[in-house]
Structures are given as structure tokens and as C-alpha cells.
Amino acid sequence: MDATAAGTWKLGDLEVNRLGYGAMRLTGNGALGNSDGPPIDRDLAVRLLRGAVEQGVNHIDTAAFYFAPLRSANELINRALDSWRDDVVVVTKVGPRRAPSGEWLPMARPDELRGQVEENLRQLGRDHLDVVNLRRNGDTVTSVAEHFGALAELRDAGLIRHLGLSNVEPGHVAEARAIAPVVCVQNSYGLDARTADESGLVDLCGELGIAFVPFFALSGLRREAAAAPEQDARVQRVAAAHGATPAQVRLAWTLHRGPHVLAIPGTADPAHLAENIAAAALPLSERELALLNGAAEPAEVGPAGP
């Protein structure tokens, strides 16, 4: 069983398996601005990335600001995927900035985005970037037009193949699409954090043929932190019926949300990677989905029948 079991979706003209991999955790806590703890073993990280690809993952999410004092996610990806450059779609993000010391800085200005794109190109060892998401800072950027327009110019110049958005609302999608095509939207989303359902963003992306790519899909309300010890009896109940883990049920629920919904769970543990990939083949019945969504309390759940 591998990542192909979840089916595929196209990011523009780039077809990817719907279950991918998020590289944020490859550098440890440093990716989030916390330098505590030892750096991940470089060879282990390279083996993990190669193992993901060998298990069908062909969509990897990263960013130049995913770094710790001694590790860079982009550098690890560059080293690990040298033999698979034409087979793996690498999606990166620009907008947020960090100083070399790790300190977070104000969001990049539109005229600074070229430098961020070029930084990703150098670190990844590529001549162009497959997909670049504009990651909006919700506190300071209300319109994405100027920033997205700057990225569209870099796309026209051949540095970027496709464009996407991150941390946005439905209005931002319309604003960006008036400038250039949008192939994906990446927002926080999961079984316990469904603001993107309330705003209509998930369904809007489906209607427009845009991939919706949740981050923090496994973390519930704790966002960057690992998922808390599972207290949700509904998830536990479905997991027990399948002999699966609660994390696998959460991933399967995400993938069942729609054919345009992708998943990019990240881990630095090879065993967890294998579990995440196995979730691509976890079927959920209509009864189980109703139970997980809290809309019903069926008498029984299990893999048999809708």
C-alpha cells in the first residue's frame, strides 16, 4: 500500500498523489522559531524523504523559512531528491521572513518576493519552482493583489511554474484569480478546526478546480504542536473499528472531504511516515463520516457498507 491509494489531483499541469509530505518537522522545533533541542540527524532526514518518495509521495511542501540553527528543510530536500527532480512536485511558500538568527521579521514587501523566490531556487538547486504559495500574514496584509501580482511577474519570467495562496479567505482567492491562475490554497484545516468550511473556502476551491491543501490537519486545536492524547471518542471509535490509529482516521477524514482536498502530514519518524501513508487507503463509510462530523450518532460503525 502506498500514497497512490488516495488518488490524484492536478496542480495546474502537474499531477500529484493526494497524500503528500510536509517538510516543516524535518528541522525540528527550529522550523517554528524555537531552536531548543538537538538537530535532526541529516542522514536520517535524507532517508526519510527518499522513503516517502519510494512509497508513492510525489508532492512535498516546504519553505525557505523552515530552518533550524544547523538544518534547512530545502537543503535536505535538495540532497535527498537529486535523483527524482522530475518526478516530485515541490511546493514552497514566500511572504514570511526570518533573520539568519531565526527571529521572525515583518512580511516581505512585494519588491522583496523575488529575493525569496531566488533563495528557494538556490536552496533547492532548481532552475524554476514548481509551485509557489503566497503566504498571507493575516494581521498586516488585507489585500493580496500587490504581492500576488509580483509573483505573477516572476511566473511570466520563468522562475515559477504555478501559483497558489496560503492563509487566505474566499475574497483573496477572487482577488488573486483576477491577476493569474491559482492552482492551490493552503490553510489550516482539520476535523477539530474547520473555519474553512464555515467560510465556504473548501467548497469554493472545489467549484473552481483548485486544490485545497490543509496544514495542521492532525493537530486539532493545538496547531503547531503534535496532536494531543486523543480524547475524541468518535475518532477513537472509528479507529478501533478499522484497527487504525486516531491520526490515520483524521487523515482519512481529510481525504474524504473532497477529491480536490490533499493532505501533507509531516513527521521525522519513519514509522509515523508509514502510518500516514497507509491512511491513504483507509475507507470510511457514510455512517463513520456522519459520526466524525458530529451530525449523527449511528448505532454502529465499521468498514462494511455505507
Residues serving a catalytic function are 66
Of the candidates 131, 207, 151, which has an alpha carbon nearest to the alpha carbon of residue 174? 207
* Cα 226 from Cα 205, distance rounded (Å): 27
Of the candidates 87, 36, 96, which has an alpha carbon nearest to the alpha carbon of residue 66? 96
Write out the three cell numbers for 170: 474566499
